[in-house]
Amino acid sequence: MKIITAILFILSFTFSYAQETSRSETTKAQPFRQIKPEDKFASDLQKNSFTIYTVGGLKPYDHKAIEAFQKNYNVTYQNFGCIAPGNMDYYEKYNLLVFQHLTKTWGREWEKGIKDNSIGFYNWTQAK
């Protein structure tokens, strides 16, 4: 009986090691690749639905105005809160593409209703 228990114990480690090895081989075969902001924008343009990324802590906003803005311009806000994302450049580039699209489609009227903590919006206003 002790021999059977010992064999089962050893086989259980062998089986779990084999599973772990196959998972790591799969990971190596399929490396992580981040989509470019231009590609995400092109995909969102086909859907006519965009995301505007924001950063910042809790700040009082007129929620009805924000909801109306999102509905009118087919955008959704994604807030990172107080902690800025590590790849801030990606989100700024994407937002700038959205700002260009909104200007092309709606003129400059949309700028009055956007959240001022939208990533890249300050730079957008300074570049005019």
Domain shared by 102 and 118, yes or no: yes
Residue ranges in the chain assigned as alpha helix (H): 2-29, 37-47, 63-73, 88-106, 121-126
Q: What is the pTM of this model?
A: 0.72
Q: Are residues 49 and 104 in the same domain?
A: yes
Chain segment 58-89, per-residue pLDDT in tens: 666 778 999 999 999 999 999 988 888 888 99
How far does the chain reach from its first CA to its final CA, in angstroms?
A: 82
Instruction: Report d(CA 32, CA 34) in Å as an integer.
Output: 7
Does residue 55 sit in the same domain as residue 114?
yes
pLDDT above 90 coverage of the chain, percent? 51
Domain membership of residue 57 as a residue range = 37-126
**Do 27 and 42 sit in the same domain of this protein?**
no
Structure token digits, residue 65: 């105005």
Q: Which of 53, 126, 47 is nearest to 93 (CA)?
A: 53
